[in-house]
Amino acid sequence: MTRRKMYTEEQIIGILKEAEAGARAADLCRKYNISNASFHK
């Protein structure tokens, strides 16, 4: 059984663009329910 991805590539790109725009990583992790390690990976 494979694990399904939580977000599509387009959604991930949107999250990363928010980070580039100045949003804090901790805030984005909380908003999208992802771990800090996953965000930085």
Average pLDDT over the chain, rounded to whole? Answer: 89
Task: Note the pLDDT of residue 16.
Answer: 93
In DSSP notation, 1-41 reads: -PPPPSS-HHHHHHHHHHHHTT--HHHHHHHHT--HHHHH-
Task: Note the pLDDT of residue 1.
Answer: 63
Low-confidence ranges of the chain (pLDDT < 70): 1-3
Task: Note the pLDDT of residue 40.
Answer: 85
Single pTM value for the model:
0.76
CB 26 within 8 A of CB 12: no
